Chains A and B, each alone.
Chain A
Amino acid sequence: KNQVEQSPQSLIILEGKNCTLQCNYTVSPFSNLRWYKQDTGRGPVSLTIMTFSENTKSNGRYTATLDADTKQSSLHITASQLSDSASYICVVSAMGGYNKLIFGAGTRLAVHP
């Protein structure tokens, strides 16, 4: 069964600190993996996309990694800001006639001053 599991479920950090969010997946055949940021009261917005051959990709203070062998991804946030408070959702695409998206439940991050 295709599944995406994220950890931790929630996280509280102080402004300026770094954090790492985890995503483990059992999706086959794998197409790509995206991290989305969902602010409260808004829809998800894509942060990064990673394909099978990519190990790391950055978007400003966000750096995503992918280990296709162990089927794990991480999202590292550097020098956190209050505006980073949001849910972060890992989405894995499975290849097929219609590439199906499998969404993780998300990690809720709160950045405190």
Chain B
Amino acid sequence: DADVTQTPRNRITKTGKRIMLECSQTKGHDRMYWYRQDPGLGLRLIYYSFDVKDINKGEISDGYSVSRQAQAKFSLSLESAIPNQTALYFCATSDLSGGPSGEQFFGPGTRLTVL
């Protein structure tokens, strides 16, 4: 089984709809992240969480919210989706032993299209 899973893998929705992307991990890592990837751009950090009670905004958090339901689960919500949120979304995890710049392990991604 994959260590970091994301659901759904693909989603098409309409402007104004609420969308939730879910991430689960079996690696036992404390740290979890949400990124978006756009063509021609590097991955950009949306939110990150260092434990269940710790949530931090990344560089592009506007229009997004997150919930860390458990150590293994981190969900990303778009309260009112807009077309420029069409992108590939990745969840990632890392553990404390690697330090602040330790290796991150990525899920397979969710391709979201907002019409």
**Which of A14-22, A43-51, A58-66, A76-84 interfaces with chain B?**
A43-51
Instruction: Answer whether A99 and B106 are a contact pair too, CB < 8 Å, given A104-B42, A105-B40, A105-B41.
Output: no
State whether the Cβ of B90 lies closer than 8 Å to any Cβ in chain A: yes
A43 touches B42 (CB 8 A): no
| Closest residue on chain B to residue A100 by CB atoms | B45
Partner of A99, one of B56, B100, B109: B100
Q: How far is the CB of B33 from chain A (nearest CB, A)?
A: 9
Partner of B92, one of A32, A42, A43: A43
How many residues of chain B get a CB closer than 8 Å to chain A's CBs?
Answer: 21
Binary interface encoding of chain A residues 25-63 relative to chain B, with 1 for a CB under 8 A from any of its CBs, else 0: 000000110100000011111100100000000000000
State whether the Cβ of A109 lies closer than 8 Å to any Cβ in chain B: no
Give bound CA distance, A9 to B40, whole Å: 8
Report the number of A-B residue pairs with Cβ-Cβ less than 8 Å.
50
Instruction: Answer whether A41 and B108 are a contact pair too, CB < 8 Å, given A101-B101, A105-B40.
Output: yes
Residue numbers in A under 8 Å from B104 (CB-CB): 46, 101
State whether the Cβ of A93 lies closer than 8 Å to any Cβ in chain B: yes
State whether the Cβ of B29 lies closer than 8 Å to any Cβ in chain A: no
B101 touches A99 (CB 8 A): yes
Instruction: Answer whether A43 and B109 are a contact pair too, CB < 8 Å, given A105-B42, A106-B42.
Output: yes
Give bound CA distance, A44 to B42, whole Å: 12
User: Can you list 17 A-B pairs, Cβ within 8 angstroms, ordered by A?
Assistant: A4-B42, A9-B40, A41-B109, A42-B108, A42-B109, A43-B4, A43-B105, A43-B107, A44-B106, A89-B42, A98-B56, A98-B100, A99-B100, A100-B45, A101-B45, A102-B42, A105-B40
